[in-house]
Homo-oligomer: A and B are copies of this chain.
Amino acid sequence: MAETIAWVAVDWGTSNLRAWAIGESGVEIASATSDKGMGKLAREQFPDALDEVLGKLGVAERALDIVICGMAGARQGWMEAPYLEAPTDLGGLGQGAVHPAANDQRLRVSILPGVCQRQGGENVMRGEETQLLGLATVSPGYSGLVCMPGTHSKWARLDGTSIMDFATAMTGEMFDLLRTHSVLRHSLVEPLAGEDGDAGFAEGAETGLTNPADLLGQLFRVRAASLLSGKSSAWCAGYLSGLLIGTEIASRRDQIASEPVPLIGSEKLCALYAQVLNMAGAAGRLVNSTEVMLAGLKAARTSLS
């Protein structure tokens, strides 16, 4: 007979949500996704969206813990879970949770807080702090920089379960903006792919690593190289991606130690970051992002308020 569901882990982002049904032994029994991200829901629509995903997971018993991280806890989300302020021990994530009412009163819903920073540049995260707690659980005692590539890449300094400080680079969003809406779009009709894409990526990354202060100037080269030198669309897409990632990594270069930087994010994107870290004389280490997400939600559950 299959193990019964003990609790449900949820990563509720702006665009999507992912949920996992977990047994008491910690084993993952089922998983489900939904496009009902925070950005698409009014406050009163969250309980129904949760019920829908519980249905997909096959949850029958309703006296369950639902542990949620991410944008569901934003001011415009289901219920605001006030930020913890860095530096802070992420072991305290559970104590900071808030508890909105579900349709079924037997469900105990907990939304974990995000982390903010006021000293040394205002900054905010919601969701990544749970993965960082998970990383600290999976790699106990790790102390150093962690890179989380994505739409808004996060760079956090971790010391065990404590987050010391962090930064956000709008690298992924910038790539999408430039590809979709800027004058460069004419040179970027195809996706980054093939040999030409690789060559463009390497040249862009080298340019970004060498001259990160001139991003605004180097971007236009995408257009000029396609007009003057007949560079292919794949080359241009590769160059743009490499230039942005190279610039991002160069700006953190002096914080990167000899130990490989844990990379948490999509596997494909993390491989590109690892490549550029190597070009910068450093190294990256790919971490399974789902594994650390679940480890973080599990760790937070043990300390729920």
Contacts and interface: CB of A to CB of B under 8 A. Distances in A.
Interface in A196-224: 212-221, 223-224
Tell me how many chains of this kind the complex includes: 2
Given A123-B221, A177-B178, A224-B123, A213 B213 contact: yes
A94 to B, nearest CB: 23
A121 interface: yes
A106 interface: no
A210 to B, nearest CB: 11
Contacts of A212: 212-214
A117 to B, nearest CB: 8
Label chain A's interface by main secondary structure: helix
B251 A167 contact: no
A68 interface: no
A123 B215 CA distance: 14
A171 B218 CA distance: 11
A183 B183 CA distance: 20
Given A152-B183, A177-B177, A221-B122, A244 B227 contact: no
Contacts of A167: 217
B168 A224 contact: yes
A152 to B, nearest CB: 6
Given A170-B219, A170-B220, A216-B248, A122 B182 contact: no
A50 to B, nearest CB: 25
Interface in A223-247: 223-225, 227-229, 244, 247
B251 A220 contact: no
A250 interface: yes
A169 B216 contact: yes
B217 A169 contact: yes
A244 to B, nearest CB: 7
B122 A216 contact: no
A90 interface: no
Contact of A251 (B123, B152, B174, B217): B217
Interface of A: 75, 116-118, 121-124, 152, 167-171, 173-174, 177-178, 180-183, 212-221, 223-225, 227-229, 244, 247-248, 250-251
